[in-house]
Chain A
């Protein structure tokens, strides 16, 4: 089945680190650009980061640049987000999303994993 399954969320203290994973079975992962999008509780969607196929280009939102690192392992059909120096305002559900029909159309989403940054 074509799907995206996120894992790795949890409770972390400000300044801490967390690594999110996204498993992507059911389709040729290497052919697609992949993304992380987050949603703070009760708030709207916010794009976080994108990685092109073959990791040729990587993009970050200004709010996470220098603290978060996106990566992919095509052999494992997986996407990752290493989050360092976490802040309270990083608290959100983090979604893994696939790009299709262009560079910024997110056609497949996971169910999300909750990251809570609190002391």
Chain B
């Protein structure tokens, strides 16, 4: 199956809010409430930030929130901080396995 579609880059200033979209189809994002978001800093392993569309693992800041509408999931980061600058990947269950998005580079201006 094809990768989920994410914008290549998003930017924002410290303190602002940004939203990263993740568009799939009714066979993945739209069909299941099994969307995850991962943060990856350069040279580091990915870190789970959101699972099952809206849930935050223990230890993840409540500045990170997830939502979904139809075939598009979104990650919102409020109160942007310099340390949020990283790549972000969404993933979704497809009915058989999991597919990732192409990734979004978040730039904190």
Chain A positions near chain B (C-beta within 8 angstroms): 37, 44-47, 50, 59, 61, 95, 101-107, 109-112
Contacts and interface: CB of A to CB of B under 8 A. Distances in A.
B46 interface: yes
Contacts, number: 59
B50 to A, nearest CB: 9
For A44, A61, A103, the residue with the greatest tally of chain B CB atoms inside 10 Å of its CB is: A44
B85 to A, nearest CB: 17
Contact of B45 (A50, A61, A103, A112): A112
Which secondary structure dominates where chain B touches chain A?
strand
Interface residues of B, number: 24
A104 B34 contact: yes
20 contacts: A44-B89, A44-B102, A44-B103, A45-B46, A46-B100, A47-B91, A47-B97, A47-B99, A47-B100, A61-B97, A101-B51, A101-B52, A101-B55, A102-B34, A104-B34, A104-B36, A104-B97, A104-B98, A105-B36, A106-B46
Interface string B32-49: 001010100000111110
Contacts of B89: 44-45
Contacts of A61: 97
Nearest to B99: A47
A45 B51 contact: no
A109 B45 CA distance: 6
A103 B93 contact: yes
B97 A50 contact: yes
Given A102-B34, A109-B46, A47 B98 contact: yes
A48 B91 CA distance: 13
Contacts of B57: 101, 107
A59 B57 CA distance: 25
B3 interface: yes
